[in-house]
Structure 1
Amino acid sequence: MRKLGCFGFIVAAALAIGAFTLFRWYGPGPAEREITVLIKDGSSLTSAARQLEEAGAIGSAGSFLTFAKFLGDDAPIHSGEYRIPAGLSASEILEMLQSGRTLQRFVTVPEGMPSILVHEKLMKEPLLTGTVAVPREGSVLPDSYSFERGERRAAVVKRMQAAMDKTLAELWAKRKPGIAVSTPAQAVTLASIVEKETGVPSERRTVASVYTNRLKQGMKLQADPTTIYPVTKGKPLGRRILRSELTAVNGYNTYAIVGLPVGPIANPGRESIAAVLDPAQTNYLYFVADGKGGHVFAETLGQHNANVQKWYAIRRERGEM
């Protein structure tokens, strides 16, 4: 009986030690708050374990390596910045490093942002590296893009432009017959004007129809944003357009030229590109602000002039004229 009792004690002790061991590997880690750790390129699991111990994500680098050897797998770890939640277990930390689930940061390009402002935004982001030229206007798809600490700005721009190329190809393949543009490049140019002329999503296809009708009839587009672009490269003008700017012939000003400008005046979003490739079926040739954030549309110059007078009356009421 004494032998059986001793044996039982040994088994119980072994089970307790095993449970404690498993708990140290699978149980909650020592971090009491979220920790960010940057694993540099070329780091081994050993050096990463030391960083994790110094940061307080694990209790012991030595124990972590031992457990990883016997209880983990031999998949390589990935470099990058990791956000480790409070109490994350050692086994979960190893899995995170091996899966490469790095901390993702984002840079957002709003619809209609000109490339000069995209460039400024990227250059001001302190966690990106390297320099990059101003992207070609209209080559960037507005969206939110993830990046990792230390990533090169050129790599981010490349992703933005690849997204535009893919989106444009998909939309061009679905274009409707009878549209006013004959190439994807022209579609981006016209979409950039639509993007700058309205911030109301429901109006995009109607605004696109106005410019489609004007192009087909050989009328000047007379879009204010095309007059401003050569002056500011897409940045806000901050004042009224000068008469000299309205008459300037520079390849962009659609008050002075017939047809599309020589290139985009901003980076249009997916919906504006889709709008010019499938515009609303209307006879509209004119539009003016309605005082509520949108526009009122007209088929004839007489109707348009009446709408303009209503807009002027609204502005006078507001003390803007």
Structure 2
Amino acid sequence: MWKHIAANALTLLIVGFVMLAGVVAMGQHAFRAEGPLDQAICLRVDQGASLRNVATSLDEQGAVTSPMLFRIGAQYDGRDGQLRFGSYLVPAGASMDQILDIVTRGGASTCGTEVVLRIGVTAASYLVRELDPATSRFTETVDLPIDTTDFPAEYTDVAEAPDTRFRIVVAEGATSWQIWNALGNAEFLSGSVDEVPPEGHLAPDGYEVRRGADRGELLARMQSAQETFLAQAWENRVEGLPFDTPEEALTLASIVEKETGIAEERRVVASVFINRLRVPMRLQTDPTVIYGITRGQGVLGRGLRRSELDAATPYNTYRIDGLPPTPIANPGRAAIEAVLNPEETEYLYFVADGTGGHVFGRTLAEHNENVARWRQIEAQQGN
């Protein structure tokens, strides 16, 4: 009799384990299956929010089939304590597993309303914009110059809202003074920085910050990013380059950055200057002369005068041999890589081609022909 009871108990136990395994398998399948969202949503995860808060929000927006299963799945694989606050774009059909990955892996927010401080090569401005999850496109609502002091309600209502995020976007080719000046005027930053950072040593990029972020810490972050990338690129440089230090590479990269905005041209433009250094031949580039006049504090706003091209200054590459003493702007990664891995060419000259790009020449005779064609284009555009 006891053997019979024991056998039945063992059978029930085995059946229980099988059923439990089936339930677990079904739960795992549901956790990884396509979700119910028919269009993307923007999910806000507040600082200090619990997993239950997030699961409830997802359930209210129709993004999960079961908030309890979402919590159990997070606890099962140990991600329940890894939530990162921010605003995240959850795509249509995202599984609970994919949503959990979005809200725990961290990184920059991907949707919601944001205030962007854009620092360009000619001006800086505040921009308020909001992502439409359905189209994944940003709608711009406010655009204000950096020197604004009387902010409209359209800006302050957004900038003072607790769920607004802030970003700094620095364009390739912006100078250190332009960046320092814009950050100094940014109403949502704190702290002060008395000295302009070294030219060329701030990485052009996008930086997500919080309201009240310290200006000095942000500039240090930019400088660390540039120095880290420069060191990596220097280690991977090709052999035989006509300069000896990463600082010289940074200087040449800043010139390339100022000479072309066409991605496909950077390595070819870099080859022209490298070939000139090898000849040796003076670099003869207008952006260095302009920097010697403005010191990077704004744009010149006019053409160079003959007297300026003839003046003997440290940045006049029509008069000096080799590189100027410092970079003339903050080059981006592509420009740095271009000078450390340039195209192999015999070009010594280039001139605008009328389309935003350049045409290149090996000899002075070729260059003169290209210049003559450019003069014709200029004359036609003038008409």
TM-score by length of 2: 0.58
Which residue matches 1:308? Answer: 371
When residues 178 and 269 of structure 1 are mapped into structure 2, their CA distance, relative to the original with a 3 A threshold, is: same
> How far 1:124 sits from its partner (Å)?
2.5
When residues 34 and 225 of structure 1 are mapped into structure 2, their CA distance, relative to the original with a 3 A threshold, is: same
Is the contact made by 2:108 and 2:208 (CA closer than 8 Å) also made in structure 1? no
Alignment match of 1:122 (pick from 164, 167, 183): 183
Q: Which amino acid aligns with 1:196?
A: K
- How far apart in 1 are the matches of 2:201 and 2:312? 24
- How far apart in 1 are the matches of 2:275 and 2:245? 17
When residues 126 and 213 of structure 1 are mapped into structure 2, their CA distance, relative to the original with a 3 A threshold, is: same
Structure number with the higher strand fraction is 2
SS in 2 for 1:318: helix
SS in 1 for 2:350: strand
When residues 83 and 296 of structure 1 are mapped into structure 2, their CA distance, relative to the original with a 3 A threshold, is: closer
Which residue matches 1:6? Answer: none
Which residue matches 1:155? Answer: 217
Which residue matches 2:236? Answer: 174
Q: Which is further off, 105-114 or 291-300?
A: 105-114
Which residue matches 1:200? Answer: 262
Higher relative contact order (CA 8 A, sep 6+): 1
Q: Which amino acid aligns with 2:334?
A: E
Which residue matches 1:243? Answer: 306
- How far apart in 2 are the matches of 1:233 and 1:260? 16
Alignment match of 2:171 (pick from 87, 105, 110): 110
When residues 153 and 210 of structure 1 are mapped into structure 2, their CA distance, relative to the original with a 3 A threshold, is: same
- How far apart in 1 are the matches of 2:189 and 2:45? 17
- How far apart in 2 are the matches of 1:36 and 1:229? 45
SS in 1 for 2:261: coil
Q: Which amino acid aligns with 2:267?
A: R
Which residue matches 1:187? Answer: 249
Alignment match of 1:275 (pick from 338, 345, 355): 338
- How far apart in 1 are the matches of 2:291 and 2:375? 25
Which residue matches 1:232? Answer: 294
When residues 101 and 197 of structure 1 are mapped into structure 2, their CA distance, relative to the original with a 3 A threshold, is: closer
> How far 1:83 sits from its partner (Å)?
6.7
Mapping of residues 68-79 of structure 1, within 5 Å = none
Which residue matches 2:197? Answer: 135
> How far 1:319 sits from its partner (Å)?
1.0
- How far apart in 2 are the matches of 1:203 and 1:154? 35
Structure number with the higher helix fraction is 1
Q: Which amino acid aligns with 2:254?
A: S
- How far apart in 1 are the matches of 2:373 and 2:107? 59
> How far 1:120 sits from its partner (Å)?
2.2
Q: Which amino acid aligns with 1:120?
A: N
Mapping of residues 70-89 of structure 1, within 5 Å = none
Alignment match of 2:227 (pick from 156, 165, 190): 165
When residues 143 and 35 of structure 1 are mapped into structure 2, their CA distance, relative to the original with a 3 A threshold, is: closer
> How far 1:247 sits from its partner (Å)?
1.5
Query: Computing the radius of gyration over CA atoms, which structure comes out larger, 1 or 2?
Result: 1
Is the contact made by 2:271 and 2:342 (CA closer than 8 Å) also made in structure 1? yes
Unpaired segments ≥5 residues, structure 1: 1-32, 40-44, 49-74, 86-95
Q: Which is further off, 238-247 or 284-293?
A: 238-247
Deviant stretches of 4+, over 4 Å: 33-37, 81-85, 99-104
> How far 1:34 sits from its partner (Å)?
9.4
SS in 1 for 2:232: helix
Matched, 1:295 2:332: no
> How far 1:117 sits from its partner (Å)?
1.1
Matched, 1:264 2:327: yes
- How far apart in 1 are the matches of 2:347 and 2:43? 57
Is the contact made by 2:173 and 2:254 (CA closer than 8 Å) also made in structure 1? yes
**Residues 189-219 of structure 1: per-residue CA shift (max 9 Å, x gap):** 0000000000100000000000000001111
**Residues 152-196 of structure 1: per-residue CA shift (max 9 Å, x gap):** 000100110000011001100000001122100000000000000
SS in 2 for 1:145: strand
Q: Which amino acid aligns with 1:266?
A: A
When residues 100 and 119 of structure 1 are mapped into structure 2, their CA distance, relative to the original with a 3 A threshold, is: closer
- How far apart in 2 are the matches of 1:272 and 1:82? 32
TM-score by length of 1: 0.69
Unpaired segments ≥5 residues, structure 2: 1-41, 50-79, 90-102, 110-162
Q: Which amino acid aligns with 1:197?
A: E
Alignment match of 1:211 (pick from 265, 273, 282): 273
- How far apart in 1 are the matches of 2:314 and 2:249? 17
Q: How many pairs are equivalent?
A: 245
> How far 1:112 sits from its partner (Å)?
0.7
> How far 1:233 sits from its partner (Å)?
2.1
**Residues 77-107 of structure 1: per-residue CA shift (max 9 Å, x gap):** x9xx97799xxxxxxxxxx9xx999964210
Q: Which is further off, 156-165 or 100-109?
A: 100-109
SS in 1 for 2:213: coil
> How far 1:249 sits from its partner (Å)?
1.9
